[in-house]
Amino acid sequence: MKNIFIEQLTIATRKNKNICLIVNDLGFGMVENYSKEFPRNIFNAGVSEQSMMGYAAGLAAKGKHVFVYSIANFNTFRCAEQIRNDIDYHNLPVTIVSAGAGVGYGNLGYSHHAIQDYSLIRCFPNMLIASPGDIIELKSCFEYLIKNPQPSYLRLDKSSNYQIHKKKPNISPGKWIKVFDHKKNVNNKEIYLTTGAVIEFVKDKIDKKKYKPRSLFSIPLWGMKFKKNQNKNLQNFKKIIVVEDHLKDGGLQSWLNESFTNEKLISKSINSKVIGKVGSKEFLMNYLK
């Protein structure tokens, strides 16, 4: 997926010189051709993730669409405050590109596991999560991000170039994409639902008869703003098995649970419109409705 990303970024930069890439002493063996073709569009911030996000915010404020590339735990948790304050709250066109989704860097230990990144990123109100399931979904996600620059998080598998879609699906935030119908799942009322590069995992489990034969859907684009219609989607099926390379808490299933209407459970919480407001506690608590 990483090589597909850099190929798509190269094509996009040829058309739009306002696109640029920031790395932090990572990406060697992948970014060299991009660097040679666009030496003025790539920056190495060194091992300084907080500064890296500050650079990205500054460039974006001047009209650039910035892609910030690193291993998933480095450009999320190490610089969470800068993502929140500098990028998300200012609604700037910065795409955080994370490699090593889930446990992709498993042999490097738990410090490199990306199993809480959804939880962090989806709590930022302007952030769009782009989590493609195969290289075709990646191309669709990338096209969407280029056409709709915004605070976003592009989550890539470390090494997989798996492909299951025959053509690029029509995607939009919150939309469920049908990956395949299983011939033994006649009524299609029990499905698997994924986000990110776990489609290959699910397909393999079904083929080896370790998972029951069910149809599979994917959500490549989602985030805080895009819970609309999820309640309707959920009611279309009898059983939905959510498969994700992330902890349950704060992941896709948690997001779906939050979107589901439950008359017994009513949320009273601070509205995201409080962002950018300054005042007394009493004034700001008016945003709790």
Q: What is the DSSP string of 15-39?
A: H-TTEEEEESS--TTTSHHHHHH-T
Secondary structure element (H or E) that encloses residue 257, with its range:
helix 252-259
- Cβ–Cβ under 8 Å, residues 186 and 161: no
Tell which CATH architecture fits domain 2-156: 3-Layer(aba) Sandwich (3.40)
> What residues contact residue 2 under an 8 Å CB cut-off, 6+ apart?
27, 30, 99, 156, 158, 159
> From CA 248, how far away is CA 253, in angstroms rounded?
7
Dig out the tokens for 121 from the structure: 């990123």
Amino acid at position 235, single letter: Q
- Cβ–Cβ under 8 Å, residues 78 and 111: no
The average pLDDT across 8-18 equals 97
- CA distances (Å), origin 47, targets 75, 106, 183, 190, 205: 11, 21, 50, 46, 39
Summarised one tens digit per residue, pLDDT across range 38-71 is 999 999 999 999 999 999 999 999 999 999 999 9
pLDDT of amino acid 37: 97
Summarised one tens digit per residue, pLDDT across range 100-135 is 888 888 888 888 888 999 999 999 999 999 999 999
Residue written as tokens 């091992």? 47
CB 78: neighbour CB atoms within 10 A? 18
> From CA 190, how far away is CA 100, in angstroms rounded?
30
Secondary structure element (H or E) that encloses residue 81, with its range:
helix 80-82
Dig out the tokens for 28 from the structure: 């060697």
Dig out the tokens for 7 from the structure: 């190929």
> From CA 201, how far away is CA 125, in angstroms rounded?
30
Residue written as tokens 């304050």? 85
Say yes or no to pLDDT of 187 above 70. Answer: no
The average pLDDT across 7-21 equals 97
Report field, pTM of the whole predicted structure over 0.85:
yes
- For 184, half-sphere exposure in the C-beta direction (CA atoms, 13 angstrom radius) is 7
Q: Could you state, in order of their start, the residue ranges of all structural domains in the chain?
A: 2-156
3-class secondary structure, 46: coil
CA angle 204, 210, 216 (to 5 degrees): 55
Mean pLDDT of the chain: 93
- Count the residues in the chain: 289
Say yes or no to pLDDT of 289 above 90. Answer: no
- Cβ–Cβ under 8 Å, residues 287 and 273: yes
3-class secondary structure, 243: strand
> What residues contact residue 165 under an 8 Å CB cut-off, 6+ apart?
134, 136, 137, 179
Say yes or no to pLDDT of 143 above 70. Answer: yes
